[in-house]
Chain A
Amino acid sequence: MAHPLRSAVRKSWQTLSSIKTGVVLIILVIIFSIAGTVILQRPITDPDDMQRAYSPAMLHFLDSTGLTDVFHSYWFVALLLFVSLSIIAASVQRFPNAWRYFSRPYKSPDEGFRRALPIQAQIAITDEEQGLGAAERAFRHMHLKSERIVRTDSFSLFSERNRISEMAVYIVHASLLLFFLGYFVVDAIYGWRGFMMLNPGSTSDKIEMRSGTTRTLPFSIRCDGTGEETYTDGTPKRWWSKLVVLDQQREAARKEIVVNDPLVYHGVRFYQASYGRTGKLERLLLNAVPANGNGATQEISLSEHQIVSLDPDTKVQLAEFIPDFVVQDGHVYARSNDVVNPAVHMIVTLAKENRAVNVWLPEIPGIAENASSPYKFEPKELKTEVFTGLEVSHEPGQWAVWAGVILMAIGLTFVFYVVHVRYWVVPIQDARGNHMLWVGGAANRNRDAFEHSFKRLVEQIQKEVRPTTAVGPEKPAESIPGTTVAGR
């Protein structure tokens, strides 16, 4: 009351830490996540597809609200920040209590507690010492450690197991915070992803980033070879690339990477992402047969723009390689970069006659002058250039994420499968002055199983008590006398 500001702060703190806020935040995260999977997302979807799917006004609206890139929009990150704050606030709010509970266990129950505890039983005994002794033996029988609690005016027994289970939920929440720290803080600030294309033999330190910019690495990567293996039916079986890391001009690392097995160097990871042909010629093997039939057949090998002498008078140059050609209006055009319908343009020069002949393979009518060439060419083998596509990423936050995963696995195991079990045994006197042993138990979860083991404990104590005492007069001997196992 005294300070309105302080009370406002306290109120918002309480709101933030309440389970209701948590549930509302979870619902909001779910709603926006659904939106992010239903609405087409920006970097992945082709801009043309976006325009086809939405009207311009709609697209403008979606873009301006960040709905086309939900998971990277500032408000989604802000929402998850709120979730983290809520988890922290809830944990801070509840932790002191839980810690007190954990560090100072409640060992000798008072009368009020004894009355209220739902799971309890009473057993008739002759005197305190005999009852407590029997209970101790029963605990030992059930592999439980018990301790005698000595107060000024009373003795009692206390036994417990798995106290750590009370802390488990904080472990789980801490692991969630580690996820957020790794993904939304470390990786969002220091992480990056990009793409790199290499031909065998080439070296590069440039990475095309998702955003379209280029990033230069402090070291460079050389590709010593790449290839594809296929199954007999043609489906790809394996893609591989031999990569070498060159740091300050010297070889720092070397690895043959395949899909599912990347190269890691200084926290930068290189993944085999794709493999293909660039549509450029690497080498063409040809047989050159003299057109007049005199002379031997020569085997020649050409790469682009290379010139080879066939005889002292004749030279051949590979002028152009078209991977997928189409003829239109007397010109040859390339339709695509896929090697599906290749054509080769060669120029045969005759020094003596001072003329050049345009030879095309295959012979394109109207353009090719193959007939006037002194040599006929028979293609033998066509080798086109291959490339390896490398996905490159730097995600320093992943260690926080993996630590979070391990922590969460441990936490969940404790939350669901490790039960904090407590037993108290207190000798009391009932209204008529008879000595009784009050036995109580509590478990923080899995109540049914606990009720079962509590019954077993009570039966065991009775067994230990019975040899020397008669059963209380008003209680039937068969059922557990005085056992009141209350419902929930």
Chain B
Amino acid sequence: MKPRLLLAWLLVLVSVLAACGRHADEGGGGTPAPTAKETETRATEAKAEETAADQAPEPSPLDEAIRSVLVDRKEVSISFWTGTGAANFPVLEEMVRAFQQQYPNIKVDFSNQGPLAELTDKLTQNIVAKSTPTLSNLDASTFPEYIASGAIVDLLPYYEHPEIGLAGKATDPFSYYIDEVKSFSPQGTMYGFPTNKKTADVLVYNKTYFDAKGWEPPATWDDVVRYAKAIKEETGKPGFSFDNAYGDAPFALLSRQWGSPYIRDDGAIDIDNEAGRAALKFYRENMDLGYFTMPALLPSAGGKYSSNGFVKEETYMFVGAAAGIQFAIPNPESGHSSFEIGVAPVPQKDPGNPVYYSKGENYAIFSNSTEEERVAAWLLIAFLTDPGQNVNWLIRTGNLPISQAMLDEPEYRNFLDAEADNTPEYYRAAAVKAVLSVDKLTFNKAIPKSAALAEAVGQMWEAVMIGGGDPDKLLSETAAKLQ
């Protein structure tokens, strides 16, 4: 019995070691060995450089790769990760399939990685394990770290390339989106590109109630207070609520509108200042008076979204994501009374100096790829930014059009100008229109501490508004924590 047993375990051990050994050769640590493709490309490049040496300017590796993919129809395989809801994923899949039909030599392995936070975690893990996808969505706050560690690629050459670029062309996105992705890195570089998942906050209000009072949607915070006061006196309920699923949304918006720099151009965090304190106190005072509230305090909401409480008329106005408008539509089947809702841009402190925040992810191409793979990925980005391709997506999801060309698509125009009815589609259009009525959208400069800042500010806001903490004290503490 013993020898047999011994033999059995030796076999197991040997096979395990063999498996390890084999795979260690392939994926061992350190910098990845040049892939066959890369060596081939370099060889081609070297040869091209040689032969073109006595001719006109030598074609760059980028041009070579473009020629290889577009003209020579070389087979390229790329992977693309996104983090989107399950309901919308099939629409993106359609678009990716259409892309592969247009470019039969490019294969795309497309997968959904769950909520954005999960996607980000996976990406970071895979950077370390050197198994990143070619292309992925990315949240603004992760760009600084990735750029610093060389994990992603500068997209400016692709964006400005005469043949495949989008700069200056009809499909070029709105300038504020391009400014945002350019702001992640020093001048002359651009490490991200806007996705078609951009959205913004809007003000949702109970139109039936407002019409009965003859009220126009509030344009300033003073209007909001006025209305909320009247609502409180008549119904006893708080008139206004502010979604804080992105915890820093209320404070970031209000303090910026009050004049706080929030994040200075040099990248320093500047939140503990007079404007910040004033903004906090403004909201807090109105909460103490019962005019304003937070979603967590609404009986039916109890989370970070006001919509559940709004549809039960526990509040009459709230600021929330445009893409979530369908959840603010009252549904008689759920026991809500039927009323019309209205959508307007977010109120301002100073209409002369409006601040509206843009939200949404950007694309990034990872360094762990060959030049041809990067070209293919860029072609995919361009395709996904194509107006015609995006009509269905924008109508389905209520995301914002990111270029004038998208806006001008006839079918999309029809969607925006549709007649008023009580469908989610109409309200999505209304929300988009509300955002588009604004001249430009703002963003915060992305710094390495962006994620920590958002979290700390979110907690501080809740601690002040719900926890009853002292605004000045908590603001200073939060600012100190972030140093």
- Say if A and B assemble together: no
A residues contacting B by CB (< 8 A) are none
Residues of B participating in the A interface, judged by any CB pair closer than 8 Å: none
